[in-house]
Structure 1
Amino acid sequence: MKIWFDGKLVDREDAKVSVFDHGVLYGDGCFEGIRFYDGKIFRLEDHLVRFYNSARYIFLTIPFTMDELAAACCDTVNASGLKDGYIRLVVTRGEGNLGLNPASCPRACVFAIVSEITLYPAEMYEKGLTLITSSVRRNAPAALCPQVKSLNYLNNIMAKQEAVQRGAGEALMLNEQGNVAECTGDNIFIVRDGVVTTPPVTDGALDGITRQAVIDICIELEIPVDERTINRYDVICADECFLTGTAAEVIPVSSLDGHSISDGMAGPITTKILAHYQNMVRATGTVC
């Protein structure tokens, strides 16, 4: 396996981050998860814009241009020999001292990993995921803007651990007001009376790339789509529910906290959106 590491492709065993890197010590950095299909990277520019915006928000200078990182992603995909796969693009604050002050880190560290990924078993895309509501609340925007894909994912990890311990596929995370924000790694959508609805980013949801792709699909297919505040009642009483994410793609939800959502199977609108999404990712993208 080849890793793109600070400007060049190296063998996996040579891609090493210092134990003094503030990404390791404090989770100080940002990342992106990106998918490619048939050798084409899906919405690469959108991912890179979000990557640079996350870094800008935390005063982290990426020592490469956007074009250079786009080329790096393509080079790593080509070196992998994979046609379908996943790219993890990471920037850390870089090596410094043991203090919190980022000024001790003169240069950020950037790397890209390409690998295969299977987040959920294939049958889950027909039967749907079971959800539980996590006791862990989504990070408050006043503490850390949810649009920043920070390397510190402990908030989400703790919620995911709850799902694992309770035998669920995913955990629903609420915001400080008790309204739905998102799941641990995915955005959430519900369908009721033919209208597709997802929480706004102001409620703590990440502005997901797949989330936006699904909104675009709804507009193209003339399916009414809305962004508004929802709560657990809305999810439990929905006609359909599904999650979206780069790794998960579009996956139906069968239940929340033991409450079956409709008949507990993938609904017709979810199925239609998933099929259109699968066509979209293979028909578009940056050719490497």
Structure 2
Amino acid sequence: MKTWIDGRIVDTAAATVNVTDHGLLYGDGIFEGIRVVAGRVFRIDRHLARLQVGAKAIGLELPRSPDALREIVEQTARAHGQREAYVRLVITRGVGPLGVDPTTCERPGLFCIVGPIRLFSDEQRKRGLDLITSSHRRPNADALDMRVKSLNYLGSALAKLEARQRGADDALLLNARGHVAEASVANVFTLHGDVLSTPPATDGCLEGINRAAVMQIARSIGLDVRERSLGRLDFFGADEVFLTGSGAGVIAMRSLDGRTIGAGEQGPVTARLTSLHRRLAETEGSEIIPASEGQS
């Protein structure tokens, strides 16, 4: 693993952050999780655009221009040298005195980590995921807008912990109205016939980059793609359900709360979307780590 910090790239084990950084103390900051696929950084411009909006939403000035941030990501990915990797680009409020006041931080902090990620095993990908409905809820957008990819992931961590303690792979989170928001760190889709549905951002989900890519692909193969509120009943009655995310990729869901979904395995549409999503990521954008240089 490699990390860009303080203007240089080091082994991640050697990277250090000041313990009074408000990103560490209060979760005050934002980040992007980005995939490197076949030596290409997938949709980095869209990630950086979302980062800019998130920064504006929390009153945080980005310490570098989007072009400079892109260069940092690409440099760190090249240093890591793997054609398949995960990028974590982090902007913190910065170092400051104890106390939650953001105005006491003189300048934002910045670091970029590139390394491997394996949220789910090959076996889980083959069979599909078992999810439970978490007892933790996503907050209303007027309390905390989940479209801001902030450093505070406690709700997601607790939902994931609950799932693992109950013998499941992941958790489905509802909002205060009982509508499905998303999984712990992934967007969700249901398929009924040729209608592919995903919750709108107003129901408490992140507007995922890979979510948008899958919606684009699905429309190109003739599916009727809709953003609409979903309940647990929509999952129980679905032909197929799957998750999407930078870390998760596209992965089928086979059960919810012990009830089988569809045929209880990856369905044909999910398999096709998985393949097409991979093909898109392998061909879109510039190849920054050629096959002759990197390792898969």
Q: TM-score, normalised by structure 1?
A: 0.97
Deviation by residue 1:187-242 (Cα, 9 ceiling, x = unmatched): 00000022111011111111000100000001111111111111000011111100
- Distance in 2 (CA, whole Å) between partners of 1:48 and 1:15 is 23
- Distance in 1 (CA, whole Å) between partners of 2:18 and 2:60 is 18
**Aligned residue identity for 1:203:** D
Unaligned segments of structure 2, at least 5 residues? 289-296
Equivalent in the alignment of 1:204: 204
Q: Secondary structure at the match of 2:138?
A: coil
- Distance in 1 (CA, whole Å) between partners of 2:170 and 2:57 is 29
Deviation by residue 1:27-72 (Cα, 9 ceiling, x = unmatched): 0001111001122100000111111211111101111000000000
Equivalent in the alignment of 1:4: 4
Identity %: 46
- Distance in 2 (CA, whole Å) between partners of 1:13 and 1:245 is 26
The answer to whether the aligner puts 1:258 opposite 2:241 as a matched pair is: no
> Which shows bigger deviation, 187-196 or 14-23?
14-23
- Distance in 2 (CA, whole Å) between partners of 1:238 and 1:28 is 38
Deviation by residue 1:161-190 (Cα, 9 ceiling, x = unmatched): 110100111100000100101011000000
**Aligned residue identity for 1:87:** V
Q: Is the 8 A contact 2:12 2:113 kept in 1?
A: no
Q: Is the 8 A contact 1:139 1:155 kept in 2?
A: no
Instruction: Sort the Cα spacing of 1:279 and 1:97 in 2 relative to 1 into closer, same or farther, 3 A.
Output: same
Equivalent in the alignment of 1:118: 118
Query: How far off is 1:14 after superposition?
Result: 4.2
The answer to whether the aligner puts 1:280 opposite 2:274 as a matched pair is: no
Q: Secondary structure at the match of 2:24?
A: helix
Q: Is the 8 A contact 2:30 2:92 kept in 1?
A: yes
- Distance in 2 (CA, whole Å) between partners of 1:209 and 1:83 is 20
**Aligned residue identity for 1:268:** P
- Distance in 2 (CA, whole Å) between partners of 1:5 and 1:54 is 21
Q: Is the 8 A contact 2:21 2:96 kept in 1?
A: yes
Q: Is the 8 A contact 2:2 2:115 kept in 1?
A: no
Query: How far off is 1:118 after superposition?
Result: 1.2
Equivalent in the alignment of 1:231: 231
**Aligned residue identity for 1:16:** T
Equivalent in the alignment of 1:63: 63
The answer to whether the aligner puts 1:145 opposite 2:145 as a matched pair is: yes
User: Number of matched residues?
Assistant: 288
Equivalent in the alignment of 1:38: 38
The answer to whether the aligner puts 1:21 opposite 2:21 as a matched pair is: yes
Instruction: Sort the Cα spacing of 1:66 and 1:6 in 2 relative to 1 into closer, same or farther, 3 A.
Output: farther
- Distance in 1 (CA, whole Å) between partners of 2:2 and 2:168 is 35
> Which shows bigger deviation, 177-186 or 6-15?
6-15
Q: Secondary structure at the match of 1:94?
A: coil
- Distance in 1 (CA, whole Å) between partners of 2:285 and 2:111 is 21
Equivalent in the alignment of 1:170: 170
- Distance in 2 (CA, whole Å) between partners of 1:25 and 1:11 is 24
- Distance in 2 (CA, whole Å) between partners of 1:97 and 1:141 is 30
Equivalent in the alignment of 2:49: 49
- Distance in 1 (CA, whole Å) between partners of 2:115 and 2:2 is 10
Equivalent in the alignment of 1:84: 84
The alignment's C-alpha RMSD in Å is 1.1
**Aligned residue identity for 2:220:** E
Q: Secondary structure at the match of 1:131?
A: strand
Q: Is the 8 A contact 1:94 1:109 kept in 2?
A: yes
- Distance in 2 (CA, whole Å) between partners of 1:147 and 1:183 is 14
